[in-house]
Amino acid sequence: MTHRFPIKEIARQAALGTATVDRVLNGRAHVSAQTRNRVVAAITELELQEQQLTARGRRMFVDIVVEAPRRFSDEIKRTTNAILDTVTAGVFRPRFVFQETMGAGEIEAVLARIVKRGSHGVCLKARDTPDVRDAINALDRAGIPVVTLVTDIPASRRAAYVGVDNLGAGRTAAFLVAKMLGQSKGTVFATRSQDAFFGEAERLRQFSETLGQSAPGLKVIDIVGGAGLPGKTADLFNRVLAKHGPPAAIYSMGGGNAAIFDALAARTLCDLVFIAHDLDAENRRLLEKGKLSFVLQHDLKTDMRHALMAIAARHGLARPAPEILTSDLQIVSPFNMPS
């Protein structure tokens, strides 16, 4: 495998040992495909970031740890690499750890490894649990600031939260549903990926409260646990659909929307108010085809700039950052979709 970087630098980028990287680079046996992919990805990331090395400023290794479906993780990675040159507080080197689901102990183990090997900061999308809070506190004690992304962990010693105003998002979704359905009676299915994601819980609470005030004839049914993955989401959705019958509207906070629409289409229930979050590739296709009514979108580029600047601020390389850094919410229809 050709490259122009020292093995130690590749190992640091990939979060692997130098001996493991050496085996991969020299094509030796007893190396998993996943490990090889991590080394290839690390070299690609180093090449993308190499142009920054001529810039003045301190080199900052930042770990971006995300539990989310791949479609959203891919957006985070693409956006982060796209904005690196625009953040002038330092020369940032992101290292990505993405998993679609992280079970008990997995996220804590990832964060513990970061404490052990060192980092200038962590950008984290994870569940709000006592063990995760403890892991964030351990990072902070080690001098590694943590910025929570999209979903907050407020009872921890995180440095800042960046992302959408989740309470405002819930109110906006309720406003749209109430305006479109008036004083109709029926159910609204609200889908969430995980119960322990604080941001989705905030959205649901505000959505339910606001809808109860403006459209009291609509009852909200919480569907949680699909992790935004097609199979799990479809199974949960179909069970609730069989029990409660057709909904009047859907507010999807956790993704898996193609699977939800397929479950509806199988019962010829296609003409529904359907509001989703995040203009990823899947939601873009669904919106273009008229399968979604609206997508609530926030500016991920702004979020990632805020995250990097908040980390830089903790190292004295930028002005102190506010604890909460939210990005604007946009209501996207098929007619105002950004390119």
Residue 44, pLDDT > 90, answer no
Q: What does the block give as tokens for 309?
A: 């600047």
H or E element that contains 273: strand 273-277
Host H or E run for residue 325? strand 324-327
| Cβ-proximal residues to 336 (8 Å cutoff; 6+ apart), any chain | none
User: H or E element: which one contains 63?
Assistant: strand 59-67
What distance in Å separates the CA atoms of residue 25 and residue 3, rounded to the nearest whole number?
A: 9
Q: pLDDT averaged over the chain?
A: 92
Percent of the chain at pLDDT exceeding 70: 96
The per-residue pLDDT for range 313-329, each reduced to its tens digit, is: 999 888 888 999 999 89
Which SS3 state, helix, strand or coil, does residue 11 take? helix
Backbone CA torsion sign across 122, 126, 129, 132: negative
Share of the chain above pLDDT 90, in %: 75
The DSSP call for residue 283 is H
In the predicted model, what is the mean pLDDT of residues 21-40?
87
The rounded distance, in Å, linking the Cα atoms of 170 and 109 is: 32
- Written as one letter, the residue type at 199 is G
> What average pLDDT score do residues 90-102 get?
93
Comparing 123 with 271, the larger pLDDT belongs to: 123
Reported as a single tens digit per residue, the pLDDT across 196-232 is 999 999 999 999 999 999 999 999 999 999 999 999 9
Whole-angstrom Cα distance, residue 234 to residue 231? 5
Order of strands across the sheet with 324-327? 91-99, 59-67, 121-125, 146-149, 160-164, 324-327
For the segment 147-202, what is each residue's pLDDT rounded down to a tens digit? Answer: 999 999 999 999 999 999 999 999 999 999 999 998 899 999 999 999 999 999 99
Task: Please state the rounded mean pLDDT for residues 301-314.
Answer: 95
Rg of the chain (C-alpha set): 21
pLDDT digits (tens, 9 = 90+) for 267-288: 988 889 999 999 999 999 999 9
